[in-house]
Amino acid sequence: MRKLIECVPNFSEGRDMSIIRQITDQIEAVSGVKLLDVDPGAATNRTVVTFVGSPDEVLEAAFVAVKKASELIDMRKHKGEHPRMGATDVCPLVPVANISMEETAEYARKLARRIGDELNIPIYCYENAAYLPERRNLANCRSGEYEGLPEKLSNPEWKPDFGPAEFNPRTGATAVGARDFLVAFNVNLNTTSTRRANSIAYDVREKGRVMREGNPITGKIVKDSNGNQVFIPGTLKAVKAIGWFIEEYGIAQISMNLTNIGITPVHIAFDEVCRKASDRGIRVTGSELVGLIPLKAMIDAGKYFLAKQQRSLGVDNEELIKIAVKSLGLDELKPFNPKEKIIEYVLEASEANRKLVQMTAAGFANETASESPAPGGGSISAYVGALGASLATMVANLSSHKRGWDDRWEEFSRWAEKGQQLKDQLLYLVDEDTRAFNMIMEALDLPKKTEEEKAIRAQAIEHASLYAIEVPFKVMQTSLATMEVIQAMAETGNPNSVSDAGVGALCARLAVMGAYLNVKINAAGVADKEKVATYLTLGNEIEQKSIEKETEILAKVNDIISSLSR
């Protein structure tokens, strides 16, 4: 699946829109990157920009944006309310989908090195990208701000992680880091009281509320030996919250920043606010998402609420999102459009490529039957494999809802979830196989007049041909994996749906064999014969296993059908 990261650079210019526009133009010029938001602030004289894309494209967009900012923003003239130390003050990377924090941190360090080396800007790596514990905290890296940089850079303890240990009066210094995704999330209450909303906010936020002697509202504030206020922690980690009244809606809300949705997800925050509000005689009526959210956060929420209903979690993403929206009440104040609020969907909508899997069944068949060479057998094999996984998932979901099998819903839910995952992988490979074919065509079209051009073309053909083997080989592996789910459903699922499991087995075996044909035909174009031999050997083994599994499953299916007809 495609890896996605978000980048949220803060530039020290919030008043001159022509400068801001020139910087964001650089970002938008990078293919594969989607500019999500530009938020300038006049008082802070600072603009927060948000964009998302694949890691390499995001790094390129971040670099050209930092470069343009270094050319246009002169820190010697900068005044603003917000702490800052450079033309690009901070540049954090945030994992969004299919990428770990550790990987994101490495990308941040790669970006930091390039900015330091090529632009001669002192760089400090912070949060998860920090090399030193004391540099994890951004406030430490930025201490002294721009004005304190000459002294700071002369201190060996504050030697930059990358770039020169010299004061650059025009650009200052930049902090590059990797941090968790922050979600701005408001919970709606059936009250107009800000005080009562604040009480709930203090109950749940990590910081909690001030400790008082005796009466928790009017009692004397407790302080420690240093004279600092003592707080009673709230129930939710990585959550900041306050209560406020929204005149536009005529209600009070709990306004929350979920600073690490891996620690406190949206659905957990919502349910906890519901509990604390109920304790105070107040009812939660819905919620509001400010900005965008990763797809996984919505999927996790949908699964959480389905599990509370003891229903199968193995349903498609669209259904999970619908469950999440209704359970969280995200559509109470205004319609919630997933294509505008979920990062992956926003990015997908901005890409011009038409996806095969988004076509109708008739449209896909017609496209295949056209004079275009793609989609071909590889994409069809992946799609047939996806249908096999879908049939197995259907049997699992039907079994989880079968009357009298209520105590087995989790068992079948786990199988359905696995089937959905395999189905999604195979659907991804439908388009990826066509993309692999197009890569070969593009490589063949490269110029070949000079020796250098010939070498570049040959390398591109080799790379594309190898990828054209890797994709159908992945189809083979994934389709074989679906047979585990299919077999389990044939043996333990609802017997009335056993024929569907049998058809699923036929689909899976066909997908394996069809994909293997594509592995073999594309092998001819690869110069690395050792790699080719490995793929062919492993492919043959997978093909034989799929045939054996199909035989086992069909035998079981026919036995059950025979017993049902007696």
Give the catalytic positions in this structure. Answer: 82, 433
Alpha carbon 395 to its chain centroid, in Å, reads 29
**Cα 24 from chain centroid (whole Å):** 23
Mode of pairing for the β-strands spanning 88-97 and 174-178: parallel
Q: Which helix (H) or strand (E) holds 362?
A: helix 361-369
Going from the C-alpha of 131 to that of each of 105, 106, 122, 157, 554, the distances in angstroms are 10, 11, 15, 13, 57
Pairing of the two strands 123-127 and 174-178: parallel
DSSP state of 218: T
Under 8 Å CB-to-CB from 441, ≥6 apart: which residues?
none
Which residues, 6+ apart, have CB-to-CB distance to 193 below 8 Å?
A: 245, 252
DSSP track, 396-459: HHHHHT-TT-GGGHHHHHHHHHHHHHHHHHHHHHHHHHHHHHHHHHHHHTS--SSHHHHHHHHH
Residue 353 in tokens: 């490529």
H or E stretch at 499: helix 498-523
Cβ proximity of 175 and 66 under 8 Å: no
Report the 10 Å Cβ neighbour count for 484: 16
User: Please, are residues 188 and 249 in contact by the beta-carbon 8 Å criterion?
Assistant: yes
φ and ψ at 46, to 5 degrees? -150, 140
Q: Give the tokens for residue 71.
A: 């050319």
Residue 362: phi and psi, rounded to 5, are -65, -40
Structure tokens at 509: 């075996």
Q: Backbone phi, then psi, for 210, in 5-degree steps?
A: -65, 135
Residue 121 CA to residue 155 CA, distance in Å, equals 17
Determine whether 51 is exposed, middle or buried from the number of CB atoms within 10 Å of its CB (0-12, 13-18, 19+): buried
Structure token pair of residue 379: 């994409």
98: left (phi over 0), alpha (psi -120 to 50) or beta: left
Strand pairing of 88-97 and 4-7? antiparallel
